[in-house]
Copies of this chain bind each other. A is one copy, B any other.
Amino acid sequence: MTQKPLDGIKVLDFTNVLAGPYCTMMLANMGAEVFKVERPGTGDDSRAYGPHVNGESVYFLSVNRGKKSIVCNTKTNEGREVFKKMVTKVDVLVENIKPGAMERMGLGYETLKKINPGLVFTSISGFGQSGPYSQRPAYDMIVQAMGGIISITGEPGGAPVRVGISIGDIVPGMFAAYGTLAALYERRVTGIGQKVDIAMLDCQVAILENAVAKYSATGIVPGPMGLKHPLISPFEAFKTKDSYVIVACGNNNLFNHLCEVIGSPDLVNDPRFDNNAHRNANIHELSDLIQAKIYDKTTAEWMDILVNEGIPCGPINTIDKLFVDPQLKARNMLVEVEQGNIGKIKVAGNPVKLSTVSPEDELPKGSAPEIGEHTKDILVNLLGYTEEQAEKYIKECH
């Protein structure tokens, strides 16, 4: 087992479903030990989300591998007592319950920092700990919709569509992991922790990129553009004999080379297309001219030609293709793991490749926990309970 950057860091994970668990997964991937607090009975909501195999949620396991689960009902005095004891033993607390709820349970940052001044207290919520919407609940699709991304995704003139993944949760999970690590970094100088406040809606705005720039500069409200890029041309999907091929030329050299490769060298000096601004202004004519040349070969044939010529290109892969892709295999990005009742199953790998961590150590060891699987272990080994005290707790609180 190689050394990992967060070896020795302990995380109290009071999160549910996706944004919070994705954050603590990223911390676990870097070596942190994660204690997942679950309510008695049903545990994390995502344990109920399909698909299930032999009763286990594959969704749940995909973001909770290698974490330890302790059952703890923070609505009871005993639960809060255990929770606070854990706070004194950890470096980080991540929670994603409704703003104000931690305070109402006597577990807010102002209280907890008194018992652990070094604590980094990371909150993820729909709209943040402040502002007029702070008390509203949110899920991925709510913030995708409110944050503008749905309004710029889809066919021009067509119905709005959701981004096909829960980007409204995953991106905040990523910013939360980054913010947590920044606060840990600062703590090594100051000795003091702090509160990190992540709002799902804020994160949607932070990734809007050219849509914000465009509206800000021009006052024009961007709309969906199907498969085209709003600012760069050509940068889109062309139909081939059997499917599509994506071609993306981000500068003049690439565009000029593409023109030669498709047998249209005359386009290079055409004043309609001689720089990116002109190509954007005449995008439909340009697309039609390129399309006419692409249509007569298959995607595989075009991939051979374009890859060989160094033109950025790619097929539109369905999910099954990823599982057999040689590059993703070489990069260890679909990792076969063993999970209790399920057996072997593949999950997404860790995209942060560190030179000091070998491929087999990129993901944490161990499967996703059963509810309360580590209650006794945590009570005894982290909190110093006796076996009898731990068993009494389990009998009364599980």
* 27 examples of A-B residue contacts, CB within 8 angstroms: A48-B276, A51-B217, A58-B216, A128-B327, A132-B330, A133-B326, A145-B237, A146-B314, A147-B317, A153-B163, A154-B154, A159-B227, A160-B227, A162-B229, A163-B167, A166-B229, A171-B174, A179-B352, A179-B353, A196-B353, A201-B327, A202-B333, A205-B351, A206-B350, A212-B322, A214-B319, A223-B318
- The answer to whether B248 and A141 have CB atoms under 8 Å apart is yes
Whether, in the assembled complex, A373 has its beta carbon less than 8 Å from a beta carbon of chain B, the answer is no
- Bound-state Cα–Cα, A226 to B150, Å: 10
Whether A182 pairs with B6 at a CB distance below 8 angstroms is yes
A212 contact from B155, B312, B319, B326, Cβ within 8 A = B319
Task: List B contacts of A350 (CB < 8 A).
Answer: 206
Q: Are A165 and B215 in contact (CB under 8 A)?
A: no
Please give the distance in Å from A371's CB to the nearest CB on chain B. Answer: 16
Shortest CB-to-CB span from A38 to chain B, Å, is 14
Do B5 and A182 touch (CB < 8 A)?
A: yes
Smallest Cβ-Cβ distance to A249: which chain B residue: B139
Q: How far is the CB of A155 from chain B (nearest CB, A)?
A: 6
Per the 8 Å Cβ criterion, residues 153-211 of A in contact with B are 153-155, 158-167, 170-172, 174-175, 177-179, 181-186, 188, 190, 194-199, 201-203, 205-211
Q: Are A59 and B231 in contact (CB under 8 A)?
A: yes
Interface membership of chain A positions 265-285, coded 1 if the CB is closer than 8 angstroms to chain B and 0 otherwise:
000000000011100100000
Smallest Cβ distance from A11 to chain B, in angstroms?
A: 14
User: A148 at interface (Cβ–Cβ under 8 A)?
Assistant: yes
Q: Tell me which residues across on chain B come within 8 A of A186, comparing CB atoms.
A: 3-5, 356
Asked if A206 contacts B348 (CB within 8 A), the reply is yes
- Does A347 contact B152, Cβ atoms closer than 8 Å? no
Are A166 and B351 neighbours in the complex by a CB distance under 8 Å?
no
Number of copies of chain A assembled together: 2
The reply to whether B346 and A205 form a contact with Cβ atoms under 8 Å apart is no
CB under 8 Å from chain B, chain A span 295-337: 307, 310-323, 325-328, 330-331, 333-334
Interface size class of A (residues with CB under 8 A): 35 or more
* Closest-CB distance, A286 to chain B (whole angstroms): 15
**Which B residue's beta carbon lies closest to that of A138?**
B312
A221 in the interface (beta carbon within 8 A)? yes
Q: How far is the CA of A160 from the CA of B154 in the complex (A)?
A: 8
Chain B residue at minimal CB-CB distance from A26 = B178
- Name 13 extra pairs, CB < 8 A, besides A151-B317, A153-B163: A6-B185, A51-B213, A51-B218, A58-B216, A62-B209, A62-B212, A128-B331, A141-B236, A153-B161, A166-B210, A175-B351, A201-B328, A215-B319
Other-chain contact of A161, B3, B154, B222, B280 (Cβ < 8 Å): B154
Nearest 9 CB-CB pairings of A with B: A152-B164, A131-B330, A5-B186, A195-B355, A153-B164, A139-B248, A202-B351, A179-B352, A5-B182
A18 within 8 A of B: yes
Residues of B with C-beta under 8 A to A312: 126, 136-139, 142
Task: State which of B149, B153, B175, B205 has its C-beta within 8 Å of the C-beta of A334.
Answer: B205
- Write out the residue numbers on chain B whose beta carbons fall within 8 Å of the beta carbon of A321: 148
- Which residues does chain B contribute within 8 Å of A184, judged by CB atoms? 185
Give the chain B neighbours of A319 by CB distance below 8 A. Answer: 148, 151-152, 208, 211-212, 214-215, 221-222
A212 to B175, CA, bound (A): 22
Taking a contact as CB atoms closer than 8 A, the residue among B182, B314, B315, B342 that contacts A354 in the complex is B182
Q: Which residue of B lies closest to A344 (CB)?
A: B216
Q: Are B202 and A51 closer than 8 Å at their CB atoms?
A: no
